[in-house]
A and B are shown apart, each in its own frame.
Chain A
Amino acid sequence: MSACDAVLDALSEGEAFSPSLASHLSSCKDCQKLVEADRALAPTTLPRVRMSAALRDAVEHDTAPVVYRSAWRRAALPAGAIVAVLVAGVTALRGAVTPVALVSAVVLAALALVGVALVLYRGEMGLGPRPAWRWAFVGGASALFGALGLARASTGVSPGAGANWLASDPFMGATAIDAVTNGHTTSSPYGTCASTGMIFAVVVGVGFLWSARRTVAVQPAASGACAGVAAGLAAAASLQLSCPGGLGHHLAAHGLPILVTALAGAFLGRRALAP
C-alpha cells in the first residue's frame, strides 16, 4: 500500500497520522490538499436552529417520566399471541396430531419466536440488529417453511386432503394452486386453512406491532417484514398441528398468510415501527 493510500485509510478510520505518514504529508501536495479539505469538512460553527412552537407544545404536553419496560415484558404480548393461536389450532381444528406435524409445528413456532427477538431486540445503541439479519430471517424462514412442507408431503398423509375450500375460501388463487398441485378436491373439515391462517396471523401481527411500535428500527420495512413472517409462521405452526393436507396445500394455503403478512408488515412497518 502506498503512503497516499495509507493517508486515505487513516482519514476513513478517523485515526491520527503515524510519524511516517506525517512525514509523507509534508512532501505530498495531493495528500496535503486532501487533508486540508478533510479539515474543512468538520464544522467549526454550526447553524442556528430554533425549536418550533409545535415541537415545544408537544414536549410540554407530555413530560411524564419514561417507564422502561424490560425486554421480557415487551416480548410477552407477541409471544402470548403465538401461544394463543397454537392452542386455538389444537382445540378448534381438532385434528390427529402426527409426530411429523408436531415437529413441524414446534420448528415453525420456534422460528416465529426468533422473529420476535429480531424485531424487539434493541442492542447496545437502542437501534436493533442489522437490517440484513432481519431480511435473512425473512428469506431463511420462508425457505425452511417450504422444506417442512416437503417433509409433510413425504409422511404418507392423504395428499390434497383439505383442499376442497372452493366454496368457502376467499383465496381463490391459493385454491387454484392447490387444485393444480394435487389434482383433486376431496372434502375436509379443515377446508379453510388460508382464511383461518390469515386470522391467526393477524392476531399475532397486531400484538407484534403493538409491542414493537415506536422502536427506532434502522430499516422499519425490514422489521415489519420480519414481524409479518413471524406472525405467518405462528399461524402456519398452528395449522400444521392438525391439518392433513398435502404439499401443495401446505405451501399454498399455509404459506399464503406468511406471504400476505410479510408484505403487509413491510408496508406497515414503515409507519408503525418508526417513531
Chain B
Amino acid sequence: MEAYCNGDRRAFDELFAQLAPRVMLTLMRLSRSRELAEELTQVTFLKVHRARETYIPGSHVLPWVTAIARNVYIDAYRAGRNRKRRELLTTEGTLPEPDPDDSPSTGDGNALDTLSDEDQRILQETIDALPANQREALLMLKVEGLSLKQIAAATGSTVGAVKLRAHRAYEALREALGAKKKSRPPESDEPSNHPTRNR
C-alpha cells in the first residue's frame, strides 16, 4: 500500500490481487449476488484509489479497505431500496435471493463443501437469516480474517459489541444445526443424553 501511495502503479495491481477476492467474497455474502458484488468491488477499489491520501502509512490495510467496501455496500443498498424498479432488486424492493450459481455453497471461495449437503444448506440459510450486523461481524471475522478490534474500527462499533454480535451469530448457527438433528430420528450410534440438549 505504501509503495502504491508513493506512485508505484504496479503496487496497485498487487494490492488488488491480494485484497479484491476477499472483499468480493464478503460483498457476495452480504449482497447475495455475485454480479452486484463484482461491481461493488470495482467501486470499492476506485474509492480506495481516490482516498489513498487518507491511508495512514504503517497501519493495517484490510480494515481500511473493508470500511470503504462497507460504505459502498450501504450506499448501493440504500440506492437500490430507493429505486424499487432497479433491475438488481425484486419487485418488492428487496435484495434478490441468492443465485444458486453464485451461492458460496457451490464451492466458490470457501470450504462449505466439507459439510454435508444438508448442513451446507442449513449453514447458508442461517447466515442469510442473521440480522445484518451479526452477519457482517461473522463474515468479517471468518471470511476477511479481521480481529475484533479491526472489525470494531471498520464498523464504528466497540470490541464488546462486535464480540456480542459474533457470539449471537454462533448461537444461531448452533441452534440451527442442533435443530436439524432434533428433527431427525436419533441414530443408533448417537448418545441419547447429549449434554447440550440437557442444559
Q: Which residues of A contact B (CB under 8 A)?
A: 2-4, 8-9, 11-14, 27-31, 33-34, 36-49, 51-52, 54-55, 58-60, 62-69, 122-127, 130-132, 214-216, 218-220, 222, 270, 274-275
Contact = CB atoms under 8 A, between A and B. Distances in A.
Contacts of B12: 59
B68 A42 contact: no
Contacts of B157: 130
B49 A125 contact: no
B36 interface: no
A38 B169 CA distance: 11
Contacts of B87: none
Interface in B5-63: 5-7, 9, 12-13, 16, 20-22, 24-25, 28, 34, 38, 41-42, 45-57, 59-60, 63
A43 B42 contact: no
A44 B111 contact: yes
Contact of A41 (B16, B143, B199): B143
Nearest to A133: B156
Nearest to A220: B71
In terms of DSSP, what is the predominant structure of the interface of chain A? loop
Contacts of A220: 71
A42 B178 CA distance: 21
Contact of A127 (B64, B110, B145, B148): B64
Interface range, B side: 35 or more
Contact of B42 (A14, A40, A51): A51
Given A37-B119, A126-B54, 7 more contacts: A45-B110, A47-B25, A51-B16, A52-B42, A58-B46, A59-B49, A126-B55
B77 interface: no
Contact of B170 (A3, A38, A40, A68): A38
B22 A30 contact: no
21 contacts: A2-B199, A8-B170, A9-B167, A14-B141, A30-B195, A30-B197, A40-B110, A46-B22, A47-B28, A48-B21, A51-B42, A63-B7, A63-B9, A64-B7, A66-B55, A124-B59, A130-B156, A216-B51, A219-B156, A274-B47, A274-B75
